Amino acid sequence: MAGMSVDGLVSGLGTTDLINKLVSAEGASQAALKTRLTATNNAASAYRTVNTTFLAITTAAAKLTPEALASARTASSSSSAATATATATAVPGSKVTFTVESLASTHVQMSSSTWSSPTADARSAAQPAWPIEIRKSSDGSLAGTIDIPAGATLTDAAKAINDAGKGVTASIVKLGTDKYTLQLTSTTSGADGSFYVKTATEDDISAGSSFTTLAAGKDASIKFGDGFTASSSTNTFTDLMPGLSVTVTKADSTAPVTISVGNNDDAVAGQIQALVDAVNAAVSTVKDYTNNAKGSTAALRGDFSVGQLTGQLLDAVSTAVGPGGAPSVVGLSLTKDGKVSFDKSKFVTALQEQPDLAKRIILGTPASNGADGVPGGTDDVAAVTGIAGRLAQVAKNASDSTTGTLVSLANGQDSQAKDLKARIDAWDLRLDKRRETLTRQFTAMETALSSLKNQSTWLAGQINALG
């Protein structure tokens, strides 16, 4: 019934259009609810976007720990013959000098026999006679025995060696037309990876004669002087000194190499910059979403609860941290447009010349029991929160998953949106019912008018008949 057209059957009225206008007029309240729902969803999304920027502050602040400031290290080399890396356990100011005597190499052997193709019978050559034994050069101990079946090709033999996992890998090398050989390479670099092959027809004296050594497995070696040396099966000397690893790249026994360990102030400055960038991003996002200027369509326009977060962030950066702890000492200041500025060179200078003060400004100081070491005394010292800790607290208050201001506001908008959606759905049912009712009424009207018209026509006919 609701879907049938009753346009002007008798009356000539555009009843479908009339019904639509009547329903639309009664649906003004639903339209207002839909507008509110859109605004509510936009606000919830905006709160969560702002919340993301505050979570970024939490992450950046968490990286600024006493360990992070104290453990950043650099390792420099005086020569291209070696590179170095340092971890937190390396001691700043420590040095080591050496010459690179040799680089590590991997043991490689090649079969003295050749084959006409990779598909040739691997047993067609006199050597190696199968099965073969892989033995360590250092003590002749057996690493493993490898055999191939009758009729196996050279390709099959290489695969059998590779699948055996006995410390060597096999490759087929083409030496020329119809001339192929078998190359064996140790899977372990350095002297410990050296090996030889004993074939089925070789004894302990002749063992190894069927393969030629192309490269002997050798350890990397560095010399400190006075007969002191260090060796490594690879070109990297791990923990040559505590926290310091050195990789040699070129052997030159006449050119001394000096490795020096220092503080990596640039890395610490980079972490400060990351925190400043996170704060500025949050400030910009809050300003954009709460813009209260004339004509603004910001999703959180004029929202004081969000807008005040900007002030809290800037206060956390600009307020002194204890006596003499002005943020400007470590290069932090506020700009005229309400952002945070960071002077890296000033921070590095402070970290080098006044390390304790610089660390206090950034990290604060923990509580202590005073000179007597007894808690509860009059000389107890309260903890002082540094700039990183202040920012972390502001961010936590805003973005904590259970108590955060922004999280609560976003959840509140979600609840409101759910209620609005239910009310809109209820209006859909109400308006459908109203449309059905109006359609019935206009259909009844057209039916009544049709009946009256028929009666009028009949009466006119009767009157004409009487005349």
Do 257 and 273 belong to one domain?
no
pLDDT at 8: 58
Kindly state whether residue 28 falls inside one of the protein's structural domains.
Answer: no
Domain with 177 in it = 108-215
458 inside domain: no
On whether both 99 and 201 belong to a single domain, the answer is no
Assess whether 320 and 403 both reside in one domain: yes
- Supply the pLDDT for residue 373: 67
Q: Are residues 98 and 161 in the same domain?
A: no
When divided into structural domains, the chain yields a total of 3
Sign of CA dihedral 308, 312, 317, 318: positive
Residues of the chain with pLDDT under 70: 1-14, 23, 27, 70-71, 369-374, 377-381, 467
Helices (H), 290-332: 304-318
Tokens of 431: 């308006």
- Asked if the structure places residue 420 within a domain, the reply is no
Letter string b/e over residues 51-89, b meaning 16 or more CB atoms within 10 A of that residue's CB:
bebbbbbbebbeebeeebbebbbbbebebebbbbebeee
299 and 390 belong to one structural domain: yes
Asked if residue 26 belongs to a domain, the reply is no
Do 236 and 164 share a structural domain? no
404 and 294 in one domain?
Answer: yes
**What is the rounded CA–CA span in Å between residue 235 and residue 248?**
5
Task: Indicate whether 176 and 37 sit together in one domain.
Answer: no
User: 96 with 226, same domain?
Assistant: yes
Let me know if residue 139 belongs to a domain.
yes
- Three-state DSSP class for 297? coil
**Residue 431 to residues 5, 37, 38, 164, 428, Cα–Cα distance (Å):** 18, 19, 21, 79, 5
- The tens digit of pLDDT for each residue in 230-285 reads 999 999 999 999 999 999 999 999 999 999 998 888 888 999 999 999 999 999 99
Residue 264: what pLDDT? 83
Identify whether the C-beta of residue 82 lies closer than 8 Å to the C-beta of residue 379: no
Q: Which residue has the tokens 């026999």?
A: 113
Q: Which of 182, 215, 248 is the last residue of a domain?
A: 215
Alpha-carbon 426 to chain mean position:
45
pLDDT 10s digits, 312-325: 999 999 999 988 89
Based on the fold, state whether residues 93 and 238 are members of the same structural domain.
yes
Q: Are residues 372 and 290 in the same domain?
A: yes
